[in-house]
Structure 1
Amino acid sequence: MTASSTRRTTATRNRLAAVGSIAVAGALLLTGCGDQTEGGGSDETTGTATQSAAPLADKLPQSIRDKGVIRVGSDIAYAPVEFKDESGKTVGIDPDLADAMGKQLGVKFEFENGTFDTLLTGLRSNRYDIAMSAMTDTKERQEGIDSETGKKVGEGVDFVDYFTAGVSIYTKKGDDQGIKTWSDLCGKKLVVQRGTVSEDLAKDEAEKCPSGEKLTIEAFDNDQQAQTRLRAGGADAGSSDFPVAAYAVKTSGGGNDFQLVGEQVEAAPYGIAVAKDQAELRDAIKAALDAIIENGEYTKVLEKWGVTEGAVDEAVVNGGK
Structure 2
Amino acid sequence: MTARSTRRTAARSRIAAVGAIAVAGTMLLTACGDQTKNNDSSGPDKAGTSAGASAETSSPADLLPAKIKAKGVIKVGSDIAYPPVEFKDKSGETVGIDPDLADALGKELGVEFQFENGTFDTLITGLRSKRYDLAMSAMTDTKDRQEGIDPETKKKVGEGVDFVDYFTAGVSIYTKKGDDQGIKTWADLCGKKIALQRNTVSHDLAKAESKKCTGGKKIAIEAYDNDLEAQTRLRSGGADAGSSDFPVAAYAVKTSGGGKDFQLVGEQVEAAPYGIAVAKGNDQLTQAIKAAMDAIIKSGEYDKVIAKWGVEAGAITEAKVNGGS
Same fold (TM over 0.5): yes
**2:3 counterpart residue number:** 2
1: CA distance between counterparts of 2:6 and 2:70? 36
1:265-296 Cα offsets, whole Å, 9 max, x none, are 00000000001111000000000000000000
**1:52 counterpart residue number:** none
**2:307 counterpart residue number:** 303
Distance 1:83 1:209, change over 3 A: same
Kindly report which structure 2 residues correspond to 1:165-314, keeping only aligned pairs within 5 A, or say none: 165-314=169-318
The CA deviation at 1:27 is 4.7
Is 2:4–2:137's contact at 8 Å kept on the other side of the alignment?
Answer: no
Give the letter for the 1:84 counterpart: K
Distance 1:26 1:167, change over 3 A: closer
2: CA distance between counterparts of 1:85 and 1:27? 22
The CA deviation at 1:24 is 5.0
Distance 1:3 1:305, change over 3 A: closer
Is 1:27–1:247's contact at 8 Å kept on the other side of the alignment?
Answer: no
- Does 1:25 find its partner at 2:29? no
2: CA distance between counterparts of 1:144 and 1:286? 21
Give the letter for the 1:307 counterpart: V
Is 2:6–2:199's contact at 8 Å kept on the other side of the alignment?
Answer: no
- Does 1:163 find its partner at 2:167? yes
Q: Choose 94-103 or 148-157, whichever is displaced more.
A: 148-157
**1:12 counterpart residue number:** none
How many residue pairs get matched?
281
Give the letter for the 2:3 counterpart: T
Give the letter for the 2:200 counterpart: T
Is 1:27–1:305's contact at 8 Å kept on the other side of the alignment?
Answer: no
**1:104 counterpart residue number:** 108
1: CA distance between counterparts of 2:21 and 2:166? 21
**1:147 counterpart residue number:** 151
**2:124 counterpart residue number:** 120
**2:41 counterpart residue number:** none
Is 2:196–2:203's contact at 8 Å kept on the other side of the alignment?
Answer: yes
Give the letter for the 1:278 counterpart: N
RMSD over aligned CA atoms reads: 1.7
- Does 1:79 find its partner at 2:80? no
The CA deviation at 1:3 is 4.8
Where 2:223 maps in the other structure, the secondary structure is: strand
- Does 1:60 find its partner at 2:64? yes
1:228-267 Cα offsets, whole Å, 9 max, x none, are 0000000000000000000000000011100000000000
Is 1:189–1:218's contact at 8 Å kept on the other side of the alignment?
Answer: yes
The CA deviation at 1:2 is 2.0
2: CA distance between counterparts of 1:27 and 1:98? 22
Is 1:83–1:92's contact at 8 Å kept on the other side of the alignment?
Answer: yes
1: CA distance between counterparts of 2:22 and 2:190? 26
Give the letter for the 1:304 counterpart: K
Give the letter for the 1:252 counterpart: S
Is 1:60–1:284's contact at 8 Å kept on the other side of the alignment?
Answer: yes
Where 2:270 maps in the other structure, the secondary structure is: strand
Stretches of structure 1 lacking an aligned partner (at least 5 in a row): 7-21, 29-54
Where 1:25 maps in the other structure, the secondary structure is: helix
2: CA distance between counterparts of 1:297 and 1:159? 21
Is 1:3–1:196's contact at 8 Å kept on the other side of the alignment?
Answer: yes
Give the letter for the 1:281 counterpart: L
2: CA distance between counterparts of 1:236 and 1:204? 18
Where 1:306 maps in the other structure, the secondary structure is: coil
Give the letter for the 1:254 counterpart: G
Give the letter for the 1:105 counterpart: L
- Does 1:95 find its partner at 2:116? no
* TM-score computed with the length of structure 2 as normaliser: 0.84
2: CA distance between counterparts of 1:160 and 1:146? 21
Give the letter for the 2:262 counterpart: F
2: CA distance between counterparts of 1:24 and 1:210? 38
2: CA distance between counterparts of 1:252 and 1:23? 12
Is 1:3–1:200's contact at 8 Å kept on the other side of the alignment?
Answer: no
Q: Name the structure, 1 or 2, with higher relative contact order (CA <8 Å, separation 6+).
A: 2
1: CA distance between counterparts of 2:128 and 2:320? 22
1: CA distance between counterparts of 2:275 and 2:296? 16
The CA deviation at 1:119 is 0.2
The CA deviation at 1:212 is 3.6
2: CA distance between counterparts of 1:214 and 1:154? 30
1:7-66 Cα offsets, whole Å, 9 max, x none, are xxxxxxxxxxxxxxx9752659xxxxxxxxxxxxxxxxxxxxxxxxxx532211110011
1: CA distance between counterparts of 2:22 and 2:103? 26
